[in-house]
Structure 1
């Protein structure tokens, strides 16, 4: 408890929408076909579900899931179901996760991302009967490695001071 806690500025809803839009655009890039490419929309939804549960909720997750279903040409509702459950679980643990350092936060986020991938895999397996292999779950491990970087990037606008005063410690 000796590390400093920063007083964050309120987050702008425009910045939240922009970050979700950028995450969606990152998922549209062609590297999504490679094994281990993280789901940036899921990672951003978990981040905002943990940090701003009143501003990004289950409805936003469902809408983004439908957009990803259309983009991936998967069964309509597959990503929507996974993102909705992911957002719900992130909102449920948001008070606990924020007390921990970034590495421990990543360990709390890892089971959530695995659960979302498991739901997607279960739906795909029920529909097609094909199992993509255990390498399918490496995506969650890559996303957990990116968690500290995503946290630093998305919290950066909130850490700036409104007026610079070099004599003020906060």
Structure 2
């Protein structure tokens, strides 16, 4: 509890857009066959749904899900449904999560990411009767481990002071 709390600057909407585009481009890289590579769009959507629920909500999650459906050539609406549920539940718990330290926040994010992947697996199983295997869920574990890094990176522009002064404590 002795850690300093910073007053954050307002987030720039262009930075939110840039982070979502960067996450989408990271998902487009050809490492789709590797186990443990997280869904960067889902991770960034959870982050912004928790930190800025009025700017990044269910509509943005649905749009990003449609883009991922088109990119992955999956059943249209599979990622859209899972991202929408992910954003909805992240917005539901956003006030609670922000009270905890980063490590506990990651433990709150893990069930959300697992739920997203369970929805995707259920949809794939209903359509094609195929189960991707238990290693498929390692993506959520890796994304949970990346939560402190993503939080630090995405909050960094908001932590800087406009007029830096060494005599001012905040």
Query: Given the two structures, how large is their TM-score scaled by the length of structure 2?
Result: 0.99
User: What is the SS of the residue equivalent to 1:166?
Assistant: coil
Distance between the aligned counterparts of 1:59 and 1:24, measured in 2?
16
User: Is 1:156 equivalent to 2:153 in the alignment?
Assistant: no
Shift of residue 4, structure 1, vs aligned partner: 1.3
Partner of 1:49: 49
Partner of 1:138: 138
Distance between the aligned counterparts of 1:111 and 1:57, measured in 2?
19
For residues 73-121 of structure 1, the C-alpha deviation after alignment (integer angstroms, 9 at most, x for no partner) is 0000000000000000000000000000000000000000000000000
Superposition CA RMSD, Å: 0.5
User: Is 1:119 equivalent to 2:119 in the alignment?
Assistant: yes
1:79-118 equivalences under 5 Å are 79-118=79-118
Partner of 2:8: 8
How many residue pairs align between the two structures? 170
Give the gaps of 5 or more residues in structure 2: none
Partner of 1:129: 129
Q: Which runs of 4+ in 1 moved over 2 A?
A: none
Distance between the aligned counterparts of 1:80 and 1:132, measured in 2?
19
Partner of 2:33: 33
Shift of residue 33, structure 1, vs aligned partner: 2.1
For residues 109-160 of structure 1, the C-alpha deviation after alignment (integer angstroms, 9 at most, x for no partner) is 0000000000000000000001111111000000000000000000000000
Distance between the aligned counterparts of 2:3 and 2:160, measured in 1?
18
Shift of residue 35, structure 1, vs aligned partner: 1.0
Query: Given the two structures, how large is their TM-score scaled by the length of structure 1?
Result: 0.99
